[in-house]
Structure 1
Amino acid sequence: MELNKEKDGGSDSNSTARHEKEESGEFTGKIKKFLNNVTVEPVFAMYLFPSTLAGIAVQNLTLEKACRINLALDTNICDGMSVRNTSMYNDTDEIDVQKLVAGIYAWKTMIQSIIPSMLLLFLGSWSDRQQRRKPCIILPIIGEALSSIGCLVCTYFFYELSAEYSVLAEVLPTSLTGGWFAMHMAVFSYVSGICSVETRTVRIGAVSTFSYVTYTVGLALSGVVFLAVGFYGVFSIALVLEIIGVLYAYIRLKEIPKNENNANETSKHNFLRSFFDWKHIKETFTIVFKKGKRNRAKRISVIMILVMIICGPQYGEYTVLYLFTRYKFHWDEFQFSLFCTYNAIVITAATILSLSFFSKYLKFDDSLVGIISGSSKVLSSFVYAFAPNSTIFYLVLSYLLPCKSLIKCTNIGTLLLGKVYSLFGVCEALMPLVYGPTYTTLYKATINTMPGAFYLVGGFISFPSILMFWWLYSEHKKDIKQLEEAVPLKERQ
């Protein structure tokens, strides 16, 4: 009897150990599967986080040089503006500095817009033909690293180089390598190419969420890190992270296998002639805007316009937002980064909750959610413009549906994703060219009377998005009706 009990106890302990081993194996397998699926996310972080972290430092470098070198104001005045001590300077001093910087930002946004938009047209077509996304991912990070080096040089030669040189050092390397727009196109094309059709939406959503989180963390730390380590520290940290990003992308990322025809073209010596061949640009527009099922060409056109009237005001507002909050509420770097972090968290949470509630629970189409988001943008613009204090400014919520979430409505195949994303990227890249000078010029003209006037312009421009989302919603209803009519027809056959 006791022997049998011992045997039973031994078998129970063996089965328990075997069960624990199986669970451990399953957990290890899940970890390995997760790590294998992590591909482009770290390199995206090593691009986005340093550029966001250095954002306030770059703007402060321009403001400091404008005050101390370009305008040659008294050292005490510039010191007071730097620490936001209003007893050491007058509002007129702040206005003079901001008007100068706003003028510089006008041509800065032109450079940021023209060069990447031209480059994107060729990059998207070349990337699709060669099925190569890796160079398009690495190139923008190299540009950011060169920009960090340029900012370090401008900091070292602070009194020798004026504000214009610091802006050129920041903007030229990133623009010539495609910048954010090329990185965005390459990353999402890469993710779309390595995923199955079933997992593509989830994977793209995960990368988008990851980018929002990275951006938010960068904003949260930007003011704190700048106050702690100064210009040299911020730009050095950014440079180290960008170098790590380049090395990771070169070692870890694998290209999607390509066919022989594409491989042969890569080996030829006329690479530059092939890359900058205008016939590929014509081909991009011809293929993407080719008539297809369910008004595909019209939908692409409408969504491209939506990108322009949604992303445009966002770029314009961000160009002058730091200047606006410095003048209107006397914020310093920490207060501004705190607001941006809070705003990013609230908008991200609102986006996730609204998409899960409206799309998943209420089964709303994305275009209907777009109508709601467009309305919130228009209404919030008025509150932002007339906010009497920072508390009211904090309470405003402006939520906008990302236009790229509507690309699935265009009925585009996987092989054309590079062309589609490049066209959307071109539209996005051209927006600073239009909205940057417009908003900076408007801010310069109204800073003495109504500094928040640019928000009213943003609300006015965003209003047509409501009508366009409504048209997309009506097209969606037609799609449902056609599908419902097609099902009984198949049953009769």
Structure 2
Amino acid sequence: MFDSPNERTTLIAKNSTKDLEESDVEETDTDDQQSNTSSNSNANGDAHSDSEVEDSTDEVHTFRWSRLKFYLIEPMVLILLFAYNLSSTILKNQIIYQTCTAVFLYNDTDCKLLSTKNASEHTKQIETIVQPYAARIFMTTTVIECIVPALCGSFIGSWSDRFGRKPLLVTAFTGYTLYYAVIAIVCYISTMSLLSPWYYLLAVLPHSILGGSVTYNVAAICFISDVSTAEERPYRMTIYEAAIYIGLMLGSFTAGFLYEATNSTIVFTVSASSIAFATVILLIFIPESLNLRQAQPIVERTEDNTAHESNTNKLFELSHFKDMWTTCFKERPFNNLGIIWLTICCLQITVFVVGGSTTVFYLFIREQFHWTVKEFTMYETISILVPILGNLLGIWFLRKCLQLSVITIGILAFLSQVGSSFMKAFALSNLQIYLAIGFGALKSMANPMCRTILASVVPAEELGKIFALNSVLQSLVPFVASPIYTIIYSITLATFPGFFNLISAFMFILAIAFLLLILRKQQSFPAHYETIST
């Protein structure tokens, strides 16, 4: 759920850093260049003097206690993801409950039994009736959350380079605060009178309009790129990824206990309050990092080039699309174009399965195993932790010890996904559904291996455009996947509720076929593809 923004914004940060390094090489000492540099700073609204900027740059590259403010971004993202996963399952459970009471008008006692174990046949029948309707609400939410981020993904990087990172961070965190605040209000009202679960879509609107996960990921990774040195940057990016997963695990682990001790309204209020606290920290303590980038020497420009840059820095500039599509479809030597698109297809398959199965998986668990919220969130916690460990240990053992190629490791990762999907489809007991986690231990290695393939066959100056298109597609794919999985689940609910997992397995087999095609293509030019074949 969080891979596509990270891929896009990492490349934006890297390309921005590359431009600065080129500027260092081409810098001259002429007075005209100094004038152009000053003009560029004014165009970006820089309120600092040259000496202040130099002091700020020195502060970043020299350890001081005050430099700790540049490391606050990772804890704030951890808080955001904690709040997200704290309420994720609880919100789905609440929507199912309100669908039962407000839409189908079942009595409150029967509807509360939907989330308990050892349900009667009457309760199971109610669950079968309620779930397809609730699935449509989940699908609609997913669709709304896909459209706007797909649009933002094409423009938000340029906007950030012109106006700064901090405004985007504050905007995104504010959107999430409003999201959970509105959910808490709707949930509280539902405790006093019957209220349609469709009112929860009111919370999705500010969250989506303000960019959602795309916005904060772009801003956070660009911020990290601005304030870290070349030596620090890989470690900072690793810490950032770790913060995301730790936040998700903590939220999932805490959700069941907090919900059991309180109620849904309290859980949503805690999420809103947590993100509001993080937003205040962003406003008060985290500085604008763009000034540090403006302190770097800028290449000499002509008047025409300056005017052109001003135009392309507009938020909605069609030339961004044209350049991206031209780069992604132009003819390339050594079968590179085919390899690029086969790899992109593999990445899209992963998003398709995740985007589709996430919509109905909680419903499937309730129908098949009748788990409580606490039991599901514990399962979710383990399902996040095991792939993280599998990724770290797998890359060491398969790559370092066995010295397998990148493509081979990618195939093994998708095979792991296939095994996990088959086990989920036919699972009849708690042990079997937990074994599915073990079968999928290597699944998180699929995306890194595919990104490595792309990085090996695409020139550095074109990586940003390739990953930008990939991210836009990844934002749109759930728009298609969610309705498909919802329809399939609704049709097969009464006979084979786990059937959608077989669809997932088939998609992963298709990804394996694509990687095998890449393996065959690279064998035609073994010397050229040495980085991915060894």
Whether TM exceeds 0.5 here: the answer is yes
Q: In the superposition, relative to structure 1, how do residues 365 and 142 fare at CA in structure 2: closer, same or farther (>3 Å)? A: farther
Query: Equivalents in 1 of 2:434, 2:244: separation in Å?
Result: 23
Does the CA-based 8 Å contact 1:131-1:257 persist in structure 2? Answer: no
In structure 1, the residue matched to 2:390 is 350
Write out aligned runs for 1:457-468 (5 A).
457-468=503-514
Query: Equivalents in 1 of 2:337, 2:242: separation in Å?
Result: 29
Deviates more, 1:461-470 or 1:313-322: 461-470
Q: In the superposition, relative to structure 1, how do residues 483 and 289 fare at CA in structure 2: closer, same or farther (>3 Å)? A: closer
After superposition, the C-alpha distances for 1:111-138 in whole angstroms (9 at most, x for unaligned) are 121222122222234345x384443333
Shift of the alpha carbon at 1:69?
Answer: 0.5
In structure 2, the residue matched to 1:184 is 217
In structure 1, the residue matched to 2:278 is 245
Q: How many correspondences in the alignment? A: 452
After superposition, the C-alpha distances for 1:260-288 in whole angstroms (9 at most, x for unaligned) are 99xx99x99x99x9312322222333346
Query: Equivalents in 2 of 1:276, 1:187: separation in Å?
Result: 21
Shift of the alpha carbon at 1:296?
Answer: 5.8
Query: Equivalents in 1 of 2:478, 2:465: separation in Å?
Result: 21
2:371 aligned to which of 328, 331, 335? 331
2:326 aligned to which of 286, 304, 309? 286
Over alpha carbons, which structure has the higher Rg? 1
Amino acid at match of 1:252: I
In structure 2, the residue matched to 1:257 is 293
Deviates more, 1:356-365 or 1:439-448: 356-365
Matching of residue 360 in structure 1 with residue 400 in structure 2: yes
Q: In the superposition, relative to structure 1, how do residues 436 and 187 fare at CA in structure 2: closer, same or farther (>3 Å)? A: same
Amino acid at match of 1:410: L
Matching of residue 171 in structure 1 with residue 204 in structure 2: yes
Alignment RMSD (CA, Å)? 3.4
Write out aligned runs for 1:299-338 (5 A).
299-338=339-378
Does the CA-based 8 Å contact 2:357-2:500 persist in structure 1? Answer: yes
Q: In the superposition, relative to structure 1, how do residues 364 and 75 fare at CA in structure 2: closer, same or farther (>3 Å)? A: same
Matching of residue 156 in structure 1 with residue 185 in structure 2: no
In structure 1, the residue matched to 2:86 is 53
Segments of structure 1 that go 5 or more residues without pairing to the other structure are 1-28, 485-493
Query: Equivalents in 2 of 1:40, 1:103: separation in Å?
Result: 36
Query: Equivalents in 1 of 2:323, 2:225: separation in Å?
Result: 21
Query: Equivalents in 1 of 2:418, 2:64: separation in Å?
Result: 45
- 1:275 is paired with a residue whose SS is coil
Percent same amino acid at aligned positions? 25
Matching of residue 146 in structure 1 with residue 145 in structure 2: no
In structure 2, the residue matched to 1:276 is 316
Shift of the alpha carbon at 1:80?
Answer: 1.8
Matching of residue 442 in structure 1 with residue 488 in structure 2: yes
Q: In the superposition, relative to structure 1, how do residues 284 and 247 fare at CA in structure 2: closer, same or farther (>3 Å)? A: farther
Q: In the superposition, relative to structure 1, how do residues 394 and 230 fare at CA in structure 2: closer, same or farther (>3 Å)? A: same
Matching of residue 72 in structure 1 with residue 113 in structure 2: no
Deviates more, 1:310-319 or 1:33-42: 33-42
After superposition, the C-alpha distances for 1:275-322 in whole angstroms (9 at most, x for unaligned) are 123222223333465667876655543332222101211221121111
After superposition, the C-alpha distances for 1:436-473 in whole angstroms (9 at most, x for unaligned) are 11111111110100000000000111112113334555
TM-score between the two structures when normalised by the length of structure 2: 0.75
Deviates more, 1:299-308 or 1:98-107: 299-308
Query: Equivalents in 1 of 2:111, 2:529: separation in Å?
Result: 66
Deviates more, 1:418-427 or 1:45-54: 418-427
Deviates more, 1:430-439 or 1:34-43: 34-43
Matching of residue 105 in structure 1 with residue 138 in structure 2: yes
In structure 1, the residue matched to 2:424 is 384
In structure 1, the residue matched to 2:451 is 407
1:222 aligned to which of 241, 245, 255? 255
Query: Equivalents in 2 of 1:89, 1:297: separation in Å?
Result: 57
Amino acid at match of 1:257: R
In structure 1, the residue matched to 2:14 is none
Query: Equivalents in 1 of 2:223, 2:338: separation in Å?
Result: 26
Amino acid at match of 1:136: L
- 2:262 is paired with a residue whose SS is helix
TM-score between the two structures when normalised by the length of structure 1: 0.81
In structure 1, the residue matched to 2:123 is 90
Does the CA-based 8 Å contact 1:46-1:244 persist in structure 2? Answer: no
Does the CA-based 8 Å contact 2:117-2:372 persist in structure 1? Answer: yes
After superposition, the C-alpha distances for 1:194-248 in whole angstroms (9 at most, x for unaligned) are 5455554443333223312221111111111122221222112111211122233
Query: Equivalents in 2 of 1:135, 1:347: separation in Å?
Result: 34
Does the CA-based 8 Å contact 1:182-1:425 persist in structure 2? Answer: no
Shift of the alpha carbon at 1:93?
Answer: 0.4
Does the CA-based 8 Å contact 2:99-2:196 persist in structure 1? Answer: yes
Q: In the superposition, relative to structure 1, how do residues 170 and 391 fare at CA in structure 2: closer, same or farther (>3 Å)? A: farther
Shift of the alpha carbon at 1:384?
Answer: 1.0
Query: Equivalents in 1 of 2:242, 2:523: separation in Å?
Result: 29
Shift of the alpha carbon at 1:414?
Answer: 7.5
Write out aligned runs for 1:190-229 (5 A).
190-192=223-225, 194-197=227-230, 199-229=232-262
Q: In the superposition, relative to structure 1, how do residues 276 and 423 fare at CA in structure 2: closer, same or farther (>3 Å)? A: same
Does the CA-based 8 Å contact 1:50-1:237 persist in structure 2? Answer: yes
After superposition, the C-alpha distances for 1:32-55 in whole angstroms (9 at most, x for unaligned) are 699476253122112211111111
